[in-house]
Each structure stands twice: as structure tokens, then as C-alpha cells.
Amino acid sequence: MLRIALTKGRLEKEATALLARAGYDTAALADKGRRLILPVGDDIEVMLAKAPDVITYVIHGVCDMGIVGKDTIMEYGGSFYEVMDLGFGRCRFALAVPKGTDFYADYTGHRLASKYPNVTRDYFARKGMDVGIIKIEGSVELAPLLGLADGIIDIVETGNTLKENGLEAIEDVAALSARLIVNTAAMKLKNHDIEAFIENVSREVAL
Ligand code: PRP
Ligand code: MG
């Protein structure tokens, strides 16, 4: 039996479609109601979890594998194998500021709001800039509009949220997509089953 933690929400539909294309029976996943543990064929169980929890379950080995965004992997890290870019959930991390403002006009006192404080810290540390970081849980675009921050580091997909709120992306920070992660011990103990799963899925990944 292989247990896969799947990120609820945005990645769910495309992950289910990918599993179906790879030949797995996703009927239970497609009609799950409020259930959180779903059988996928006879040999796989899928757990639906919030993105950071996918990583927690995989690190602790209670799930053998996980499907999670690169954004969450960059923010939380941890000891596991990131084995495959699954080719969906494509978007990017960007630095965005209120349209027309000059973020680099002066070198002191920059405040950034983000749901990803570690990514934000790393990005500006690489630039040698000391910035203040305010952790926001969602709709982070509000922070610069309210004057709480000079800019944000956030996910941009279509760019509509930025545009409709008078913000603009001024730098790309990283390309993002859904990834398959594997628990390090499971990779050894269940190698045969995990390799077979990776092979079935990789045939259907459109990069
Ligand atoms: C995400 C992200 C951006 C937006 C990007 O937010 O944080 O705000 O989507 O998509 P776009 O470029 O296509 O407009 P989400 O709607 O997931 O909500 P949250 O930020 O409140 O978590
Ligand atoms: Mg948002």
C-alpha cells in the first residue's frame, strides 16, 4: 500500500487528472464528499491535506509521497526527495509593488509582506538587503495598499490579482509548479512500488 498526501484545493483537480491518465482509478477522489482519505485503485490511498501539512506527513513517514507546490517546498524545506516536476500548477513567485513606485529609491527601511517569510528573507539576503518582513496569511496584496508594506513576495499566475489592485510585478523570484516528493526511508523500503508509480506518472507528465 502506498500513501500519497495530496494538497487540497488548487492542485487537487489536476493531480487527480494526472493520476487518472497514469491509469489509476480515481473515481473515489472525483466523488469524495467530505472524506479526507480516499482509495485510488487497490494499492494506493490518497490523503487530502493543506500544503505545509503534506510536507509534515511525508517527513514523518506517515505518507510515503506527497504532491505539493514548489512554493511550499521553498518555504518549509525539510528532509525528503523532490523527485519530479509534475508540470501543472505553473506560476511564479514575484516581487510586486504599488504601480509606479520605485522600490529601490532608497536603501533603508524596506518592509515586505508575504505568506512566505522564509522565501522573502532568503531572496533579500541574497541581494544583501536587510528588510523587515510581515507575515500575512492571505490576500497579501492588501498590505502595500494599506501602507503596511512597501511590497510583497507572492504567487503570480495570471497577474490579474496584481492588476486589479494597482500593483505590478517588478522581479521574478522563482518559477513554481507542483512537485512529487518522497519520504527518504520509503524510497528504500518501498522502492519497487514507488519506482513503478513514478514511471506510470512520468509518462503522463506534460512539461
Ligand atoms: C493566489 C496568490 C495571488 C493570486 C495569484 O491567491 O496569493 O494572490 O492567487 O493569481 P493570479 O495572478 O492569477 O491573480 P489565492 O487566491 O490562492 O488566495 P490567498 O492569497 O488568499 O491564499
Ligand atoms: Mg493571494
User: Could you list the residue range(s) of the whole structural domain that residue 139 is in?
Assistant: 91-174
More confident residue, 32 or 106: 32
Same domain, yes or no: 141 and 125? yes
Question: Do 121 and 167 share a domain, yes or no?
Answer: yes
Report the atom number in ligand 1 closest to the C-alpha of 161. Answer: 14
Q: Is the CB of 155 under 6 A from ligand 1?
A: yes
CB under 8 Å to 4, separation ≥6 — which residues? 40, 44, 45, 46, 47, 63, 64, 65, 66, 67
Which one-letter amino acid corresponds to residue 62?
V
Quick one: which ligand is closest to 10's CA?
Answer: 1
Q: Are residues 160 and 199 in the same domain?
A: no
Residue 107 has pLDDT above 80, yes or no: no
DSSP β-ladder status, 2-7 and 132-135: unpaired
Judged against a pLDDT cut of 80, whether residue 207 lies above it is answered with: no
* Total domains in the fold of the chain: 2
Does residue 137's CB lie within 6 angstroms of at least one atom of ligand 1?
no
111-162: per-residue pLDDT in tens?
999 999 999 999 999 999 999 999 999 999 999 999 999 999 999 999 999 9
Amino acid at 113: A
Q: Are residues 73 and 138 in the same domain?
A: no
> What's the pLDDT tens digit per position in 20-61?
999 999 999 999 999 999 999 999 999 999 999 999 999 999
Residue 109 is predicted with a pLDDT of 79
The number of C-alpha atoms within 13 Å of 76 and in the hemisphere containing its C-beta is 20
Give the number of the ligand closest to the Cα of residue 11: 1
What does the pLDDT read at residue 2?
98
pLDDT of the residue at 206: 82
Atom of ligand 1 nearest to the CA of 157: 12
168 shares a domain with 102: yes
Same-domain check for residues 10 and 78: yes
Is the CB of residue 75 below 6 angstroms from any atom belonging to ligand 1? no
28 and 106 co-located in one domain: no
| 161 Cβ closer than 6 Å to some ligand 1 atom | yes
Cell triple for 104: 529601490
Tell how far the Cα of 67 is from the centroid of ligand 1, in angstroms: 19
CATH code for position 115: 3.40.190.10
Residue 138: CB within 6 Å of ligand 1? yes
Closest-CA residue, ligand 1 atom 19, reads 138
Res 15: pLDDT: 98
Q: Does 110 lie in the same domain as 86? A: no
Rounded CA separation 157/169 (Å)? 11
52-88, pLDDT tens digit by residue?
Answer: 999 999 999 999 999 999 999 999 999 999 999 999 9
Q: Percentage of residues in the chain with pLDDT exceeding 90?
A: 97
101 lies in the same domain as 155: yes
